[in-house]
Amino acid sequence: MPTQEELIPLSGWRRKLYIIIFEADTRSGRLFDLALIVSIVLSLLTVILESVASIRQQWGPQLKILDWLFTILFTLEYLLRLACVHKPLRYARSFFGVVDLLSILPLYLGLFIPESRFLADIRVLRLLRMFRILKLTRYMGEARELKRAMLASRRKIIVFLGTVVLLVIILGTLMYVIEGEANGFTSIPVGIYWAIVTLTTVGFGDITPKTPLGQALASLVMITGYGIIAVPTGIVTAEIARGASPTPTDKQSATRLCPHCFSEGHDWDARFCKHCGGTLPRPARGEVS
């Protein structure tokens, strides 16, 4: 919970900066976010093109300059985000705060480990902000519902995965005993690898049983695989149906972000955060469009 001092509303340049950077319901905020998305897409394109040998050979220096320009731009943006919130460290530890930091680190690390600069493609995660910018509130609600269902069914999924692990160990051992080293099953780990590939219906075909008994076991494993694939889907689907929540109303905004706890989903006319009680910045009259 924020302290009493943290609950003081933002004012002055910090409030204006916060509205531009964090609030997509204002004209200035929407323009900022759209410009940010264009920059992210262009920076991703720069990194992707630089990984192509023929393009890098011809345009390498120009692409590196562009990459540095985008990185410096994102660094300044990250620092501005930290400057306009009550608790910079709290934002730095949030999901988007970590993503923002990871998006600028690769190029700096590239000064010491050249190949690491291509990890800048992690910037694609920043495009998740499109859900807020485009006001896809319903999609945000569905994403939260899917996350809730996954967390609620985690114990069942862990039990299921544990059962699958035991099953592939048994099947791999059986195939090793049946086929033996003469048919490519040189060890139990190789048999387990075959069982995993076959049970998941991937079927690389690099190792195949040759004996009739081995082929019969493989057929049983492949048929079982189709049934096993459906189990996790059924578990999660049941949790979604059990915990279905009402669709968010038009009264809620996907873009109003609390500067204290960084929670979303506040009503358009809310003055205080419903999670921590902090004061929500309110755009000046005429700013919301």
Say what the pLDDT of residue 219 is. 93
Separation between Cα atoms, residue 91 and residue 217, nearest integer Å? 54
CB distance 138 to 131 below 8 Å: no
Most confident listed range (23-32, 36-45, 265-274): 36-45
Say what the pLDDT of residue 289 is. 46
Which H helix or E strand runs over 129? none
* pLDDT > 90 fraction of the chain, expressed in percent and rounded: 26
Of residues 288 and 271, the one with the higher pLDDT is 271
* Of the candidates 279, 274, 41, 254, the residue with the CA atom closest to the CA atom of residue 133: 254
Q: Does 3 have pLDDT greater than 70?
A: no
Say what the pLDDT of residue 209 is. 93
Say what the pLDDT of residue 29 is. 81
Quote the tokens at residue 80: 């501005």
Say what the pLDDT of residue 44 is. 87
CB distance 201 to 225 below 8 Å: yes
Rounded to an integer, what is the distance from CA 136 to the centroid of its chain? 17
Average pLDDT over residues 267-281: 77
Say what the pLDDT of residue 286 is. 46
Tokens 């800048």 sit on residue = 120
Say what the pLDDT of residue 191 is. 94
Most confident listed range (82-96, 143-157, 208-222, 234-248): 208-222
* Of the candidates 70, 28, 73, the residue with the CA atom closest to the CA atom of residue 49: 70
Residue 193 phi/psi, 5° resolution? -60, -45
pLDDT tens digits, residue range 44-100? 898 889 888 899 899 989 998 998 999 999 999 999 999 988 888 988 998 888 988
What confidence category does residue 271 fall into, taking pLDDT thresholds of 50, 70 and 90?
confident
DSSP letters along 156-214, please? HHHHHHHHHHHHHHHHHHHHHHHH-GGGT--SHHHHHHHHHHHHTT----SS---SHHH
H and E: helices and strands count for the chain: 10, 0
Say what the pLDDT of residue 133 is. 59
Say what the pLDDT of residue 8 is. 53
Residue 249 phi/psi, 5° resolution? -85, 165
* pLDDT > 70 fraction of the chain, expressed in percent and rounded: 81
Residue 93 phi/psi, 5° resolution? -90, -10
pTM (two decimals) = 0.60
pLDDT tens digits, residue range 106-155? 888 887 887 777 677 777 777 776 665 555 555 666 777 777 888 888 88
Q: Does 252 have pLDDT greater than 70?
A: no
Of residues 162 and 247, the one with the higher pLDDT is 162
Please state, rounded to an integer, the average pLDDT across all residues of the chain. Answer: 81
- The CA distances from residue 166 to 161, 185, 225, in Å, are 9, 19, 14
Separation between Cα atoms, residue 1 and residue 67, nearest integer Å? 39
Among the ranges given (68-77, 156-165, 258-267), the one the predictor scored with the smallest mean pLDDT = 258-267
